[in-house]
Structures are given as C-alpha cells and as structure tokens.
Structure 1
Amino acid sequence: MMVVGIIAVCVVIAVLAFLLPRFSRHPQNGAQRTLGFGSRAGSKAPGPLGRLFSKPFRSSSRAVNRSGSAGRRARGKLPF
C-alpha cells in the first residue's frame, strides 16, 4: 500500500514540477519532511532493525526528490 502511495506522490510532484516549476517546491519539501519523520522514527529501533525500518522512507524521499527535479529539468528543456 505504501508503494502505491509513494508512486502517486512522485507522479503528482513530477507533473506539478513540469507544469508549475516554481510552485512545486513547497509540496515536494512537505513530502520530504513527512518521509523524514518516518525515517527518523524508524531509525530509533535498536541495531540493524533501525536501518531496516528507516530504509523505505529514505529511498522514498530520494524518489520524490528525483521526480521533482526531473519534472523541472524537463520543463527547462522546452523551447518556450
């Protein structure tokens, strides 16, 4: 279920970054802040479990960041 949600967030961020690059930063930062809370909460587990629990949040945060930057980069390559 979480994977579908992250994919949906990435698609929304990418489309928003393509259509409105300046206004896509705030939703992207909000999504990354939320995922950061999850990562920090998961990392409080002891030992290797902490890394295991926080990894999905870290990789999801990277995916959100990449989709936003890819949308803005694609918009920048347009001729108009």
Structure 2
Amino acid sequence: MIIVGVIAFCVVLAVLAFVVPRLSRHPQNGAQRTLGLGSRAGSKAPGPLGRWLSKPFRSSSRAVGRSGSAGRRARGHLPF
C-alpha cells in the first residue's frame, strides 16, 4: 500500500514540477523530510535489521527527489 502511495506521489510531483517548477520544491522537500524521519527511525534497529528497515524509506526519498528534478529538467528543455 505504501509503495502505491509513493508512486502516486512521484507522478503528482513530476507533473507539478513540470507545470509550476517553483511551487514543486516545497512538497518535494516535505516528502523527503518525512521519508528521512522513517529512515532514521528504522536505522536505529540493531545490525542488519536497521539497514533493512531503513532501505525502503531511503529509496522512496531518492525516487521523490528524482521525479521532482526530472519534471523541472523536462520543463527546462521546452523551446518556449
């Protein structure tokens, strides 16, 4: 269920970044901050369990960052 939510948010963020690049920064930073909290909380578990618990949050945060930057980059390639 969380995977579907992250994918949906990435799509919405990419469209938002393409349409209004400046307004997409705040939602992107908020999502990355929230996912960072989950990653830090998961990493407090001992040993390999901490890495396993924090990995989904790290990769989701990276996906959110990439989708926002991809939308802004695509907007920059437009001829107008």
TM-score range, shorter chain: over 0.9
Sequence identity (%): 84
Aligned equivalent of 1:11: 11
Please, which runs of 5 or more residues in structure 2 have no aligned partner? none
Aligned equivalent of 1:70: 70
Shift of 1:2: 0.8
Give RMSD over aligned pairs: 0.4
In structure 2, give the amino acid aligned to 1:79. P
2: CA distance, partners of 1:11 / 1:73: 15
**TM-score for both structures, normalised by structure 2:** 0.99
Please, which runs of 5 or more residues in structure 1 have no aligned partner? none
Structure 1: 4+ residue segments shifted above 3 A: none
2: CA distance, partners of 1:41 / 1:8: 24
